[in-house]
Amino acid sequence: MSDQTRAARLLHLRAETLQKGDPVALPLTLASMYHLPGDPAGVPGYGRMDNATVEALEHALALLEDAPCLAFPSGMAAISAALFATLKAGDRLLIPSDGYYTTRLLADRFLARLGVTVDTRPTASFAEGGLAGYAVVFLETPSNPGLDLCDLSAICAEIRAAGGVSIVDNTTMTPFGQRPLDLGADIVVASDTKAPNGHSDALMGHVATRDDNLLEELRAWRKLGGGIPGPFEAWLTHRGLETLELRFARMCDSAEALAPRLADHPRVARLRYPGLPGDPAHNLARRQMARPGLLIGLELDSAETAERFIDTCPLLQPATSFGGVHSSAERRARWGDAVAPGFVRLSVGIEPVEPLWAALKESLDAL
């Protein structure tokens, strides 16, 4: 099924099971208890395992991933589930040194003390040194925030051949930008707090896998660990998902139009965007990504210049996180990421591109 067909079908997914008189829009089911006399089999039993709104979200995500999905209350809850459900004492885990920093903190602080050896490598040279001996390999491409890439199909094939499990964090791309399961990954994790919800008003995450045994472990982890999404957040994310294809297409189109103009601006010292022909990852991006994404990394000459750019541009929301309808930006070194002090992660929103460019240019010109 093509991305376009998936996007079209998503909007009619609920209609496939509607009975006459049912609301067309997804109802919000707020329930911890269900009416449950006698034999509990076959009906919703308790809110930690069963919720119709959460299941509708998972059904929609499963269509987009072309794989069974489990929703989690945040991207980190999804990542925790994937790591804790696959690792045991004595195992070795390989994660990116330049990916989302909380994943590294989680591994260093909690997995290491349970007897997991945690190694890190930069995304751009991830396969160097071999992948044998790792029980689990965690990948993130393009990496957040540096936007380096690694070759998913080559790396996932090597991990599988060595008997390891591959987990790919696909948050920066969404299923409309990159399809890690089709490229050989065992598990996809994502923060739906970003573009999938897209309205900056809820946290959510999901895990997708086509492996029945892994799915069973992940489901058990969620049920026993208790990291279950709230129905209202699931409802909001389901609503966001219905416009993801439209928003993501606009964001990528705009980012593609803006990246070369920003790269040419005299105040921009360096720029990373996988869609830019001169980018070191461009060829790989063309091979494994359907779209070049909504994130642009640009470097200004100092922390002060970068802060001034972010704060003075009227169409930039200074904020952490990305993928919202409004363009936003932040200086990642403020969190300690290993990037230059003047490095700005720009998340391109759904504003019409010409007014957005005019605002960005005016703020850069005035620096």
Ligand X SMILES: *Cc1c(COP(=O)(O)O)cnc(C)c1O
- 255/332 Cα distance (integer angstroms): 19
Site for ligand X in 126-155 (CB under 6 A): 140, 144
Residue 38 CB, nearest approach to ligand X (Å): 39
74 binds ligand X (CB under 6 A): yes
Q: Fill in the per-residue mask, 172 to 191: x = in contact with ligand X (CB under 6 A), - = not in contact.
A: x------------------x
Q: Which of 164, 177, 205, 292 binds ligand X (CB under 6 A)?
A: 205
229 binds ligand X (CB under 6 A): no
- 121/164 Cα distance (integer angstroms): 17
- 263/300 Cα distance (integer angstroms): 11
- 30/218 Cα distance (integer angstroms): 24
Per-position DSSP letters for 255-313, written without gaps between them: HHHHHHHHHHSTT--EEE-TTSTTSTTHHHHHHH-SS--SEEEEE-SSHHHHHHHHHH-
Site for ligand X in 308-367 (CB under 6 A): none
Residue 144 CB, nearest approach to ligand X (Å): 4
Which residue's CB atom is positioned nearest to ligand X? 75
DSSP 18: P
Q: In what order do the strands lie in the sheet with 317-318?
A: 270-272, 295-299, 343-347, 328-331, 317-318
Q: Fill in the per-residue mask, 150 to 169: x = in contact with ligand X (CB under 6 A), - = not in contact.
A: -------------------x
Sorted by sequence, the CB contacts under 8 Å of residue 21 that are 6+ apart come out as none
Nearer residue to ligand X within complex by CB, 123 or 191:
191
76 binds ligand X (CB under 6 A): yes
- 180/188 Cα distance (integer angstroms): 7
Residue 129 CB, nearest approach to ligand X (Å): 23
Residue 140 CB, nearest approach to ligand X (Å): 6
Positions in the binding site for ligand X (CB under 6 A): 74-76, 79, 100, 140, 144, 169, 171-172, 191, 193-194, 203, 205
